[in-house]
Amino acid sequence: MSFNIALSGIATSQTDINTTANNIANSNTYGFKESRAEFADVFASSIFGAGKTKVGDGASTAVVAQQFQQGSLIFTKNALDLAVTGNGFFAVTDGLESREMSYTRAGNFKLDEDNFVVSNGGNYLQVYPVNEDGTSQGVSLSTTSPLRIPDSAGVPQASSEIDMTMNLDAREAGLDPALFDPTDDTTFHARSSITVYDSLGASHIMTTYYVKSNQPPTTAGETEWYAFATIDTDPGTGQPYPLDLNAIAPGGGYTQVTAAPTGAIGDGDYVGVPISFNSSGIVTRVNGYQPGIDPEPFVQTQTFASANFLTNGADGGQQITIDYDAPTQFASDFEVTALEQDGATVGRLTGVTIDETGLVSANYSNGTVDNIGRIALVRFANDQGLQQIGDTSWKESLASGEPLAGEAGSGTFGDIRSSALEQSNVDLTKELVDLITAQKAFQANSRSLDVNSQLQQTILGIR
């Protein structure tokens, strides 16, 4: 019996050494969780046995329990390096169509040849679908899909609206708007430019010129400016192409001004839209329409109808609405305070952003930002019940309970840190001390086995 007791002690000590050695071997493995060998005594007796004098039958390994405390973070420059600070696991699948999930804390993800985000083992990171504004469409593992980051931003979007806010300098001397010539700086006071896109995604430079009129105003006590819109430049003449006004006529008795710097009035002339200000420098009308009263105040609509500059087959009937968002005329320098348009060309991927809630956004060269998905997090009632499958991954088991899905930063789920990795939670100093302790226990049990052997030899030597 004493031999068996000593052998059981050697076996448990060996398990302790193996467990400690495995922890030390994985001290640099991202997302690794250390294990701890836990032992129990062995005691067995019959109903007629002398329980009060029973010594015991040795020791056994009860469980090798994993310890899921947080590991320290190491920061990187790769946005796809992810770490969970707090509770939760990343969910991954071994195939695009597979629903068999495994769970990991190792966040060293990367792109494969098809732009899917995968782990080192080629498993696909799962995300919840999101709306355009980034809100999740559902938080359930059944709705997740592999995260794929497109390298281009969809199809081109033709510009249809420009929002502008500016101040026109009230100190400027008036000019005759009928003499406007975009190639002559003395015929206008200021200009602003913005890139717009046609229906095929080609870019064009749209420029608006502003001329303070020296003609009697339509309404007494007001000051009138005229805005002339042009696009690109005719390589033959050096003149910018005019943008034509649509069929909406000026309201309230106002008139538009036609400038023909290249000769007689006709096709290719520049049409100026009147913008009126009161004595306080506040806009009163744009193209004759009053803000807050008429259906389309502050609006000037231009069209590509005479689209001589379009040589790529784009839509020549494209219209662009210029929305003057409360322009002013104060005694200060010309200044554009807001200038935006809603068109876009095809963009190429320039970067990926992942916030603390796991929202994945792709940034493209055309300025588009697409919300692609939200990284799924999973937790379990009993983490230590998870089944190890290698590659720093686990699967659910009866002991762990079913996976509970959620979003980072909600409930008991931790946050997601981009450009960071969770290091192994192994404490090398503690492991080395444990290794020495296990070694001493092994030696002691070996000595016990040796003593038992000597006692056997002594007994066998009695004559």
pLDDT tens-digit profile, the chain (463 residues)? 577 787 888 888 899 899 999 999 999 999 999 999 988 888 776 566 656 666 777 888 888 888 999 999 999 999 999 999 999 999 999 999 999 999 999 999 999 999 999 999 999 999 999 998 889 998 999 999 999 998 877 678 899 999 999 999 999 999 999 999 999 999 999 999 999 999 998 899 999 999 999 999 989 999 999 999 999 988 888 889 888 877 567 877 788 888 887 654 445 689 999 999 999 999 999 988 887 777 665 677 888 876 677 888 888 889 999 988 889 999 999 999 999 999 888 888 888 999 999 999 999 887 788 899 999 999 999 999 999 999 999 999 999 999 999 999 998 999 999 999 999 999 999 999 999 998 888 888 888 877 777 777 777 777 6
Contact present, 199 and 314 (Cβ < 8 Å)? yes
Q: What is the pLDDT of residue 238?
A: 85
161-341: CATH number? 2.60.98.20
Q: What is the pLDDT of residue 10?
A: 87
Q: What is the pLDDT of residue 264?
A: 46
What DSSP element (H or E) covers 299? strand 299-303
Q: What is the pLDDT of residue 388?
A: 92
Q: What is the pLDDT of residue 47?
A: 62
Q: How far apart are the two ends of the chain, measured CA to CA in Å?
A: 24
Contact present, 426 and 32 (Cβ < 8 Å)? yes
Q: What is the pLDDT of residue 46?
A: 59
| H-only helix segments in 189-281 | none
The DSSP-derived string for 35-96 is EEEEEEE-----TTS-GGG-----EEEEEEEE--PPPPEEE-S-TTBEEEESB-EEEEESSS
Q: Is the whole-model pTM more than 0.85?
A: no
Q: What is the pLDDT of residue 268?
A: 67
Q: What is the pLDDT of residue 303?
A: 86
Contacts of 2 (CB under 8 A, 6+ apart): 448, 452
* Assigned token pair, 166: 């500016």
Give CA–CA dist 9/56, Å, rounded.
12
DSSP 8-state class, residue 386: P
* Assigned token pair, 380: 């379990």
* Assigned token pair, 4: 């068996």
Give CA–CA dist 389/27, Å, rounded.
18
DSSP 8-state class, residue 383: G
Pairing mode, strands 161-167 and 319-324: parallel
Closest to 146 measured CA to CA, from 96, 88, 101: 96
Q: What is the pLDDT of residue 1?
A: 59
Number of H helices, E strands in the chain: 2, 31
Query: Which pairs count as long-range contacts for 36-42, CB under 8 Å and 24+ apart, including other chains?
Result: 36/64, 36/65, 36/66, 36/67, 37/12, 37/61, 37/64, 38/62, 38/63, 38/64, 38/65, 39/12, 42/8
Q: What is the pLDDT of residue 262?
A: 61
Contact present, 184 and 200 (Cβ < 8 Å)? no
Q: What is the pLDDT of residue 57?
A: 77
For CATH 2.60.98.20, the residue range(s) in the chain are 161-341
